A and B are shown apart, each in its own frame.
Chain A
Amino acid sequence: KQEVTQIPAALSVPEGENLVLNCSFTDSAIYNLQWFRQDPGKGLTSLLLIQSSQREQTSGRLNASLDKSSGRSTLYIAASQPGDSATYLCAVYGGATNKLIFGTGTLLAVQP
């Protein structure tokens, strides 16, 4: 059974810092991995999608990497801003199920 874990559960940083969010999964037989952002009381915004054959994806200040063999992904946020404050979720798709399996989330607070 696929399990997805995110570390840390919560993170508070001053504005301008670079930061890394971690995601690990137990079954490496995945098709892709997605990183999402969720603001309080809102739905999920897809940030980056990494296919299983890819190593990383970049969008603006965000860079996500994928090491399928070790079951790990990282989301790097450069020059953090207060507007980046949100819960970040990673999710993997594939393996034995046709479902997206979500991690536990990281609550990020960027202090002005």
Chain B
Amino acid sequence: GAVVSQHPSWVICKSGTSVKIECRSLDFQATTMFWYRQFPKQSLMLMATSNEGSKATYEQGVEKDKFLINHASLTLSTLTVTSAHPEDSSFYICSARDRGFGNEQFFGPGTRLTVL
């Protein structure tokens, strides 16, 4: 299957700082990328959907000014958590869809964010 990478795998930051997480599709072009958040022992919660070259579509209740998403190319999407606070601490997972794989979605390894 296709490979999706995320960087960094974990990050610890002080409250009030901004953190950027990168998501890359390594061997395919991802026309659509997704960002999820996962709380302990819960399933994934979709935050937003981004298509290359256009603005992201955010799910209800997700602050777009808080979670900035940029999908500048067919292989890269970034999530920036602005002015992070302890309640933003979570596991963030990106995903990419490739139409060449029958709309199969491939997931990155996740980024553990801890805000002190």
Q: Tell me the bound Cα distance from A5 to B17 in angstroms.
A: 38
Indicate whether B25 reaches chain A with its CB closer than 8 angstroms: no
Residues 27-58 of A contacting B (Cβ, < 8 Å):
31-32, 34, 36, 41-46, 49, 51
Interface of A is mostly: strand
Interface residues on A, range: 20 to 34
Interface centre among B44, B101, B106 (most CB of A within 10 A): B44
Interface locus among A17-25, A60-68, A73-81, A92-100? A92-100
Determine whether the beta carbon of B104 is less than 8 Å from that of A49: yes
Determine whether the beta carbon of A32 is less than 8 Å from that of B46: no
Listed in ascending order, the chain A residues whose CB lies under 8 Å from chain B are 31-32, 34, 36, 41-46, 49, 51, 89, 91, 93, 98-100, 102-105
13 contacts between A and B (CB under 8 A): A31-B103, A32-B102, A34-B105, A41-B110, A41-B112, A43-B108, A43-B109, A44-B95, A44-B107, A46-B107, A93-B103, A103-B43, A104-B43
